[in-house]
Amino acid sequence: MDLLNTLVDKGLRRELPTREEALAVLATSDDELLDVVAAAGKVRRQWFGRRVKLNYLVNLKSGLCPEDCSYCSQRLGSKAGILKYTWLKPEEASKAAAAGVAGGAKRVCLVASGRGPTDRDVDRVTKTIEAIKEENEGVEVCACLGLLSDGQADRLRSAGADAYNHNLNTSEETYGAITTTHTYADRVETVQQAQAAGLSACSGLIAGMGESDKDLVDVVYALRDLDPDSVPVNFLIPFEGTPLAKEWNLTPQRCLRILAMVRFVCPDVEVRLAGGREVHLRSMQPLALHLVNSIFLGDYLTSEGQAGQADLDMIADAGFEVEGAGTTTLPRHRADALAGGCGSTAAEPAGCGTQGSSGCGSHAAGGGCGPCGGHGEPEPVAAGAEDGVPAARTEPNGAARTDLVAVRRRGAGTDLAPNV
């Protein structure tokens, strides 16, 4: 297919495809799907080889967020039966992080629900970062705390944070249909603050909220312009008790096309398969490893994920390998830019990168991606809606897999061992 040959050539040169080409990827047929995966896989292997980076989420504070993000199980008006607890103590968070590191994670993502941290909250998180770094030599730490105020990113960086996550989630045009208590511009500003402080920026999207192909392409091109080191791709987990509970718009094939489009637009960026992969990709998760080079290990913020050992088995069975702590992630040109030109000793291009390469963040079971919460009124309409009328809510093949949406009841905030 001429389209795919063109996209591979551009991806190997780090050349931006046209919007029409990106839209064409989303419009390919199921008969062409394996060709699309194979083509995007060539780009993935050029820059990241067959390595898969493992990341581990620690939900520092769960639920009761004052924002109205309609996808989020932690919004204040949410009726989802999730765990609710206040800040974990540094030693509790460090213990949770150690379990993820023992399972193979090289990055720990510290997430807290809420609009954004107070200065006291930043103090808590800096102590937590210091405790984790002291107990786990070489581990990378990403913070995901919501909208940042002046100076907070610098304080997190000084405490040892490697990265900061804040997702754009959807296109600027439809953002107001998903969230009304803060703006798309607020999110962009926070990503830029993190970058200005020298943190590795992570920012991604949520697919499956009723958005159009154009919305998906728009948000991915906006991310390309922001130039984060990591782009997590989440697939909506339709929690009962949230405004988007009926949004079952995704098939495994659709998810793979979205991941391929992101890889073509962001060829040399860490693309992470984040929240919702078990719900929507299901048995086709191994194919996604040909497109992404990073996943979350085990459970998410408020929902259960695939068993940690199953993740490791899936990676090995698909012919990939877990990225070791001594291997940097991003290609050398990105590593050099992040490190201020310090360079890398790893091989070029697939074996080189940076310790500050991956951010974290995903709505990952419904919340914690910066501002995510809400009072539940007024209920935002689905992205892609027009004239205030909610977009059509469909269930592909009549199969809404509510049985795959399980609330997390173990790990952080509980007395039970985590899923790692």
372 among the known binding-site residues? no
pLDDT of residue 384: 43
- Cα separation, 273 vs 262, in Å, equals 11
Catalytic residue among 272, 277, 334, 408: 272
Catalytic residue among 142, 255, 266, 352: 142
Amino acid identity for residue 332 in this structure: R
Question: Apex CA 362: angle with CA 218 and CA 286, to 5°?
Answer: 90
Catalytic residue among 51, 65, 263, 360: 65
- Cα separation, 19 vs 15, in Å, equals 13
- Do 237 and 391 meet the contact criterion of CB atoms below 8 Å apart? no
401 among the known binding-site residues? no
Q: Is residue 72 annotated as a catalytic residue, yes or no?
A: yes
Catalytic residue among 51, 75, 107, 109: 109
109 among the known binding-site residues? yes
Q: What is the mean pLDDT of residues 399-418?
A: 82
CA 66 to chain centre: 22
pLDDT of residue 354: 36
124 has pLDDT over 90:
yes
pLDDT of residue 339: 86
Ramachandran bin of 14, using left for φ above 0, alpha for ψ from -120 to 50, beta for the remaining angles: left
For residue 271, report the phi and psi dihedrals to the nearest 5 degrees: -100, 120
144 among the known binding-site residues? no
- Residue that is written with structure tokens 């992969």 in the block: 277
- Cα separation, 40 vs 356, in Å, equals 24
CA distances from 314 to 267, 291, 321, 391 (A): 23, 15, 10, 35
Chain segment 251-291, per-residue pLDDT in tens: 999 999 999 999 999 999 999 999 999 999 999 999 999 99
Q: Is residue 202 annotated as a catalytic residue, yes or no?
A: yes
- Do 335 and 355 meet the contact criterion of CB atoms below 8 Å apart? no
Q: Which of 59, 68, 78, 75 is nearest to 418 (CA)?
A: 59
345 has pLDDT over 80:
no
pTM for the whole structure = 0.88
* Architecture of the domain spanning 2-375+387-404: Alpha-Beta Barrel (3.20)
pLDDT of residue 46: 98
pLDDT more than 90, % of the chain: 65
Chain segment 28-51, per-residue pLDDT in tens: 999 999 999 999 999 999 999 999
Catalytic residue among 51, 75, 107, 202: 202
pLDDT of residue 78: 66
pLDDT grade, residue 415 (50/70/90)?
Answer: confident
Which one is predicted more confidently, 16 or 299? 16
100 has pLDDT over 80:
yes
pLDDT of residue 152: 98
> Reduced to 3 states, what is the DSSP secondary structure of residue 208?
coil
Q: Which of 130, 129, 169 is nearest to 146 (CA)?
A: 169
Q: Is residue 144 annotated as a catalytic residue, yes or no?
A: no
Query: Which residue ranges make up each domain of the chain?
Result: 2-375+387-404
Q: What is the mean pLDDT of residues 138-149?
A: 95
Catalytic residue among 51, 72, 334, 408: 72
342 among the known binding-site residues? no
pLDDT grade, residue 406 (50/70/90)?
Answer: confident
Q: Which helix (H) or strand (E) holds 263?
A: helix 252-265
pLDDT of residue 396: 55
- Do 112 and 125 meet the contact criterion of CB atoms below 8 Å apart? yes
Q: Is residue 360 annotated as a catalytic residue, yes or no?
A: no
6 has pLDDT over 50:
yes
Catalytic residue among 69, 266, 360, 372: 69
DSSP state letter for 87: P
Record the tokens describing residue 201, joined without a space.
């920026």
Residues 6+ apart with CB under 8 A from 415: none
pLDDT of residue 397: 58
pLDDT grade, residue 366 (50/70/90)?
Answer: very low
- Do 77 and 67 meet the contact criterion of CB atoms below 8 Å apart? no
Q: Is residue 109 annotated as a catalytic residue, yes or no?
A: yes
Chain segment 175-226, per-residue pLDDT in tens: 999 889 999 999 999 999 999 999 999 999 999 999 999 999 999 999 999 9
DSSP string covering 278-338, please? HHHTGGGHHHHTTT-SEEE-S--SSB--S-HHHHHHHHHHTT-EEPPTTS--S-HHHHHHH
What does R_g of the chain's alpha carbons equal in angstroms? Answer: 19
Residues 6+ apart with CB under 8 A from 163: 107, 140, 141, 142, 143, 194, 199, 200, 201, 202, 229, 230, 356, 357, 358, 359, 360
Q: Which of 297, 304, 278, 300 is nearest to 409 (CA)?
A: 304
- Cα separation, 153 vs 361, in Å, equals 16
